Amino acid sequence: MREAIRSGDFAPGDRLPGENDLMAAHDVARMTVRQALAVLGGEGLTEARKGSGVFVRSFRPLRRRGVSRLAAEGWSGGRSVWAAETERRALAVDRVEVSERAAGARIAGALDLAPEDPVCVRSRRYVLDDKPVLLSVSYLSAALVRGTPITAPDTGPGGTYARLAELGHRPVRFREEIRCRMPTADESDGLALPPGTPVVLIGRTAYTGPGTAVELNEMTLDASAYILEYDFDA
């Protein structure tokens, strides 16, 4: 069944045969069929629709271009870092929360602050083609950004990096760390993940010319929704 989906015998949006048909076709028990369907769902290939059956997922993975998306000519010209990736697909930020709290040891270490120093926390959820694909939380020194558009839900053209540049703290270097794990309950809920779907964690730090860290952005991605692409010269 997996190979039939990948080869296109079952196209995106197609309904898979029902349990009785699969039992007869493969001469297996109902529990075996259900376990097989669960595996396909966990791999992000199918989705179960209550009362309708199991369908091949129609969502097309998002290709995240890890190098070109952060090029300064993009965000400094007012373009979102998402612009080159969405390929005119419908992208929305349906949840935005901006708050302020003490940095704590972990965030303070990343931004060279004291643990008691306040940080601006920007939490967002990104939805592509009506599907949640990314949870993002950015941390910035509150003393640096307080009273600026960075503390507003909409930071304006070019986003946070363009606003930092206007403040005289233009990011010139980025560092990303990537790892994978199974999601927490909150992450599963926020990304509407089917059981067994892992998440990709990307931690990005933005640095100014003198090497000062001005933002830590921690992202949680639906692993089945992304292709991570890195294109750079040797």
| pLDDT tier for residue 79 given thresholds of 50, 70 and 90 | low
More confident residue, 70 or 204: 204
- The domain spans of the chain are 2-56, 62-229
pLDDT at 27 over 80: yes
| pLDDT tier for residue 91 given thresholds of 50, 70 and 90 | confident
The 10s digit of each residue's pLDDT in 166-189 is 999 999 999 999 999 999 999 999
More confident residue, 23 or 45: 23
Say how many CA atoms lie within 13 Å of 104 toward its Cβ. Answer: 7
**CA–CA distances in Å: residue 173 to residues 112, 161, 207:** 16, 11, 5
pLDDT at 67 over 90: no
Measure CA 90 to chain center.
15
* pTM score: 0.79
Please give the pLDDT value at position 48. Answer: 86
Please give the pLDDT value at position 169. Answer: 96
pLDDT at 25 over 90: yes
The 10s digit of each residue's pLDDT in 98-136 is 999 999 999 999 999 999 999 999 999 999 888 899 999
Quick one: what percent of the chain has pLDDT higher than 70? Answer: 95
Please give the pLDDT value at position 64. Answer: 83
Q: What is the mean pLDDT of residues 213-223?
A: 96
Q: Please count the other Cβ atoms lying within 10 Å of the Cβ belonging to residue 189.
A: 11
Contacts of 185 (CB under 8 A, 6+ apart): none
pLDDT at 71 over 80: no
Please give the pLDDT value at position 2. Answer: 92
Tokens of 33: 């069929």
Check if CATH label 3.40.50.2300 holds for domain 2-56. Answer: no
Q: Give the SS3 label for residue 42.
A: helix
Say which CATH superfamily domain 62-229 falls into.
Chorismate lyase-like (3.40.1410.10)
Please give the pLDDT value at position 83. Answer: 67
Rounded to whole angstroms, the Cα distance separating 11 from 4 reads 9
| pLDDT tier for residue 84 given thresholds of 50, 70 and 90 | low
